[in-house]
């Protein structure tokens, strides 16, 4: 069975400072991992994905995430936050051969001017 835990429900950063959104996963299989972003009253957009290739994954809008098997983590980072990054972020896990993706409970990112 797969599961994913987002360790922070809310994160606040100042504009121009680094962003770290934490995600731990559990999977019986070699997992695929994703980060999605949801802006207010919008749908979900894929930021990046890990599928057993390079462990450091680069996504859109300057975000990246590192897959660490030993720590079962897939944290999302960005060197410098922008006001437009304020949104809800979801970490997602999927196991091999399964169509079902399991979403984390989300982390709301607030960017302060």
Partner 1 sequence: DTAVSQTPKYLVTQMGNDKSIKCEQNLGHDTMYWYKQDSKKFLKIMFSYNNKELIINETVPNRFSPKSPDKAHLNLHINSLELGDSAVYFCASSQASGQKGYGYTFGSGTRLTVV
Residues near partner 1 (CB under 8 A): 32, 34, 36, 38, 42-46, 49, 51-52, 88, 90, 94-101, 103, 105-106, 108
β-pair type (10-14, 107-112): parallel
Which residue, 27 or 73, is less far from partner 1 as judged by CB? Answer: 27
Q: From the CB of 31, what's the least distance to partner 1, in Å?
A: 8
Q: From the CB of 16, what's the least distance to partner 1, in Å?
A: 27
- What is the Cα–Cα distance from 113 to 98, expressed in whole angstroms? 42
CA distances to 71, 107, 111 from 48, rounded to whole Å, are: 19, 16, 21
Which residue, 24 or 32, is less far from partner 1 as judged by CB? Answer: 32
Q: From the CB of 1, what's the least distance to partner 1, in Å?
A: 14
Non-local CB neighbours of 104 within 8 Å, separated by 6+ positions: 4, 5, 6, 23, 90, 91, 92
Which residue, 57 or 111, is less far from partner 1 as judged by CB? Answer: 57
């Amino acid at each position: 069975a797969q599961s994913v835990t987002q360790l922070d429900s809310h994160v606040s950063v100042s504009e121009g400072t680094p962003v770290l959104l934490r995600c731990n996963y559990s999977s019986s299989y070699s997992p695929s991992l994703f980060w999605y972003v949801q802006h207010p009253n919008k749908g979900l957009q894929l930021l990046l994905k890990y599928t057993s290739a390079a462990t450091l994954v680069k996504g859109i809008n300057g975000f990246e995430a590192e897959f660490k098997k030993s720590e079962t983590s897939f944290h999302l980072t960005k060197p410098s936050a922008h006001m437009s990054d304020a949104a809800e972020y979801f970490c997602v896990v999927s196991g091999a051969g399964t169509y079902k993706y399991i979403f984390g409970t989300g982390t709301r990112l607030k960017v302060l001017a």
